[in-house]
Each structure stands twice: as structure tokens, then as C-alpha cells.
Amino acid sequence: MTSTLLMSLLLVGYEVPFLTYYPGAEQSAMAGANAAIAEDANACFYNPAGLALQRDFGLALEVNRHTYDDSALCWSAAGVAPLLRGLVLGAFGSGVKSSNKTMYYWKYRCDYAVGASLGYAPVKHLALGLAGKLVNTLVCDWSTYPGSTGDTGLTFAAEAGAIGRVHLPAGELSAGLAVQNLGPPFRFGYLPLNIRGGLAYTVTVGEVLGDSGPALFKFTATKLGDYWFERWRVRVAYDVNSVSGTTVTYDQDTVKLGLWHSLGMEVRPIPPLAVRFGYFSDLTPYGVETYRAGTTAGLGFDLKYVRLDIADDRVFWSDRYAGLSPHRLRLSLSSSF
């Protein structure tokens, strides 16, 4: 098995690999562990049930380039709008555009997905979500078909999710489950079916200190308000993600896609500042000597209406067999109002 095979499986093992990426610097800094949290507009990508837990309008935007190909431009955008009590609407889109030009050949590819989500909370501690999206692929390959104007594949996918929360004496325990990219095969292959489950435990300063807290604590709570005050917290999250559950064949090698494990932690020493860490592990399809595994890290600056997050998520694009472990920084901008 060559390094080319490994990179092909990592990046284009299925025909629309961008559907398995981790949008958002906040989420990728915690190694993608977000199925049980999903508390901002990026819930559209992780678990649509998270929409029902949001009380404010929100936006999230990200544009970056992949280190494996400088010509690959990746983007994601999402919005959240509360409609009625317990009912929240979301809209989202993501995609990748790449081109490879030489003196004699030209290859161009554009993948994107757009859709809408709906979250509903029938009771206080339970949230449900549904989503639908269109997925499109456009491929032009002059190296194989000179003068080609492109070949297009279009399909649709459905998603569903649920999040349950339980308040404990020292914090809140939440559990989430999401089924993503459930749709038929299309012109270029099949969609990567994701089954994502997770647990998260959150402890806030207010729940620990309560009314007996010091004067500084009470002063901060009054001045900052509920928005920042609720974010004065420590959080631990774990996700397991099953991707496709099928085999991928490249040349004469066949491997089976397996489980992705994500463990993340967020600490807020002061409400506007978040420090995040994560550990990601994917034991297949690369084998014990070449699997992706390693740490992630990031910072978040929360100014209530505008939030800036930064993360180092090189582990998602590393390949031990090929000796590839690129330094990569991801920036995301989001807001709520």
C-alpha cells in the first residue's frame, strides 16, 4: 500500500469527501467532539438537534485552504433563526473547489452541498432535529478528455439527530446521536454515511458557587450578563463517528472504513476567553502503522455578538506512512444576536 493510496483514501475515498470534514475552528480544536453540544450555527453540520437548544439568531463562516493541495479552497456557512418557542430553523452550505493546471493538462473540480435544518424541543431536556440537503459535483478533466466542459452529479441526503440533557448537582450531562448523509448513490459513487454519537459534561462557575459566591463573582455576573456568565465553564466531550461502514477499493487494495474517536476539552478561565484541546484517533483504513492520531488545540475570543476562533487541526490531514504532518491553522468567525 503506497502513500498515494493512503492519501487517496483520506481525501477522496468517497466521491464527496468534504461531507466528512470538521467545520468550525471551535469544533476542530476539540478534535470534532460536538455531537452532544452543537450549540452554535455549526450544529447544522454536527447534529441538527442542537438548533433547538439555541435562543438567539446566529451565523458562522469559514474559508480556508487545505494543506494537501494549495489549490483546494474549502468553505462553510451556516445560519440559525428561532421561529417559535422550541422551534428553530437553520440553513447551511459547504464545499470544496480545486484546480490543477500544468502546461498541457487542466483538471477542475467543484463540490458543494446546501440545505436546511429544523430543530424542535418537545420537552425541556430533549431536542430533536431533521435536515435535508442537495449535493452536487462538477468535474472537468482535460488530461483525459481534452476540451471537456465538465461532468455533473447531483443527489440529495437526509439527516436526523437527538440530544438529551440531564442536570446534575455539579453540572450538566448531555448525550447526542446523529445520522448524516443518508441518501442514494449518484453519478460518481456513494455518499459517506456518518453515524455520530457523543457525550459531554459541562460545569459552569455559577453552578459551583451559587449564591454563596464571593463578591467578585456576583459583580462579574451582574456586569457581564447571562450570555458571558454561562460561558464561564469547563467542558469535556467525547464522540465516536462511524463513516460509511463499507469498503473502498483503490487499484488492488481494499480496506474498510472504521471508527473515528474524538476527545475534547474546553476551559474558560474568564468568560470571553476559551482554551481548547483535543485528541483524535482513526485506526482505519490506514492500519496500525499509518493511522491518523494526535492532538488538536485552539483559542476562542467571545465578544458576545462576534466570536473569533483559531485552531491547529493538522492531525486530520496527517499521514504517518507518507511522513506528512502539516502545520495548519484554521480561523472561523461566528456571531449571535
What are the domain boundaries of the chain?
3-336
CATH of domain 3-336: 2.40.160.40
242 vs 135: CA distance, rounded Å: 20
Helical ranges in 149-241 per DSSP H: 205-209, 215-229
Q: Which residues of the chain have pLDDT under 50?
A: 1-13, 103, 248-252, 285-290, 321-325
pLDDT of residue 332: 80
Which residues lie across from 207 on neighbouring strands?
A: none
The confidence score (pLDDT) of residue 315 equals 79
Please list, in sequence order, all residues whose beta carbon lies within 8 angstroms of the beta carbon of residue 122, skipping any fewer than 6 positions away: 86, 128
Q: Are 149 and 22 in contact (CB under 8 A)?
A: no
Q: What are the grid coordinates assigned to 132, written together?
A: 435535508
- pLDDT in the model for residue 293: 80
State residue 176's pLDDT score.
97
Q: How far is CA 47 from CA 40, 41, 117, 200, 313, in A?
A: 11, 10, 10, 14, 20
**How many Å apart are CA 161 and CA 141, to the nearest integer?**
38
* pLDDT in the model for residue 314: 78
CB distance 228 to 271 below 8 Å: yes
* Res 49: pLDDT: 96
pLDDT at residue 2, rounded to an integer: 31
Which residues make Cβ contacts (< 8 Å) with residue 190, sequence separation at least 6? 14, 15, 244, 246
Q: Do 242 and 194 meet the contact criterion of CB atoms below 8 Å apart? A: yes
Burial class (CB in 10 A: 0-12, 13-18, 19+), 277: middle
The per-residue pLDDT for 249 is: 47
pLDDT of 148: 53
